[in-house]
Amino acid sequence: MSTATEPSAFPAELRRRRTERRISQLDLALRAGTTQRHLSFMERGRSRPGRTMVIRIAESLDLPLRDRNSLLNSAGYAPVYPESRLETPMLGPVREALEVILKGHLPYPALVLRPYGELVAANSAVDLLTEDVAAELLEPPVNMIRLLLHPDGLARRVRNLPQWGRHVTENMRRALEGGGNDPRLAAFIAELESYLPPAAPDPDHLGFAVPLRLASPAGELRLITTITSFATALDVTLAELRLEAFLPADEATATILRARVGPAPATTSPSQAGPH
């Protein structure tokens, strides 16, 4: 557990997080089961909340578990949500479940990612995304989002890079705007956008429904993605993991992918992942 800071940090933290999410004092008070007057007093430092109230406010703001711990810390309380190393015996059942899920997505690529795109585990079909990329992009810890958009990575095989790349970065930017100030994420988005060529107006543009069009020796592949998270996790490490699966957008792609996956090992085990 980290050392708690002085409670005087809480009013500014509460006000910042509430305004970043564009939630009024009244709306937040109703969600947290308190009064607008009490919330106003907390934001001005005239009332010190109990730990339970801080947790209720954090839940009402829909803060990630890491940020909930931070808000507790600012109010003078120790964090309540643990952050375990993925390779610990306690998370053994989780690692086994992830391996089963990854294997179940074959013959389609599936990845487990930490925040900012750090690769934790993948099934054997991930070579579809990593073949012919620059060696330095495969040095651990591998950042899959950078690998996908970097000019020396998958980008040179993406036939709709301007549109698909901005589909990726715009989704990340919406997450940034909805999750408050994160300088590291903002800098990462700026880096990724620097790799992308200008996107010319497309009369057939379908908004954010942008499939990945990927060149391959067997023909063009059209892929869509799904993202799954641990919605009920009470551990910071698990709550921050994301499972991203690439699925065929048409039968021709499905046929090519089914034909290319051989008897290789099904997964790169998350038990081999490094520390968070």
The 10s digit of each residue's pLDDT in 259-276 is: 986 544 445 655 444 433
Evaluate if residue 159 carries a pLDDT over 90: yes
Buried b (16+ CB within 10 A) or exposed e, 98-131: bbebbeebbbbbbbbbbebbbbbbbbbbbebbbe
Quick check: pTM over 0.85? no
Mean per-residue pLDDT of the chain: 88
pLDDT at 176 over 90: no
> What is the separation, in whole angstroms, between the first and last Cα of the chain?
16
The burial class, CB within 10 Å (0-12 / 13-18 / 19+), for 47 is middle
What amino acid occupies position 81? Y
pLDDT confidence of 122, banded at 50, 70, 90? very high
Tens digits of residue pLDDT in 213-238: 999 999 999 999 998 888 778 899 99
- Residues 243, 231: Cα–Cα separation, whole Å: 12
Is the per-residue pLDDT at 1 higher than 90? no
Write the burial class of residue 194 (CB in 10 Å: 0-12 exposed, 13-18 middle, 19+ buried): exposed
Percent of the chain past pLDDT 70, that is, above it, reads 87
Q: What is residue 230's predicted lDDT score, i.e. its pLDDT?
A: 81
- Between 65 and 204, where is the model more confident? 65
Average pLDDT over residues 183-197: 93
Within 8 A by CB and 6+ apart from 156, the residues are none
Q: What is the pLDDT of residue 274?
A: 44
Q: CA quadruple 51, 56, 61, 63: dihedral positive or negative?
A: positive
At residue 208, the pLDDT reads: 53
The predicted structure's pLDDT at residue 179: 64
Q: Above 60 in pLDDT, residue 2?
A: no
Q: What integer pLDDT is reported at residue 181 of this predicted model?
A: 72
Instruction: Extract the tokens encoding 89.
Output: 């015996």
Strand partners, 110: 245
pLDDT of residue 81: 95
Tokens of residue 1, six digits: 């557990």
Whole-number pLDDT of residue 200 = 64
Q: Which residues contact 106 (CB under 8 A, 6 or more apart)?
A: 123, 124, 125, 261, 266
Q: Is the model's pLDDT at 36 over the cut of 80?
A: yes
Grade residue 203 by pLDDT with cuts at 50, 70 and 90: low
Which residues are within 8 A (CB) of 177 and not within 5 positions of it... i.e. 6 or more apart? Answer: none
Predicted local confidence at residue 171, as pLDDT: 87
The pLDDT score that the predictor gives to residue 20 is 87
Cβ within 8 Å of residue 11, ≥6 positions away:
42, 43, 44, 45
pLDDT tens track for 79-101: 999 999 988 898 899 899 999 99
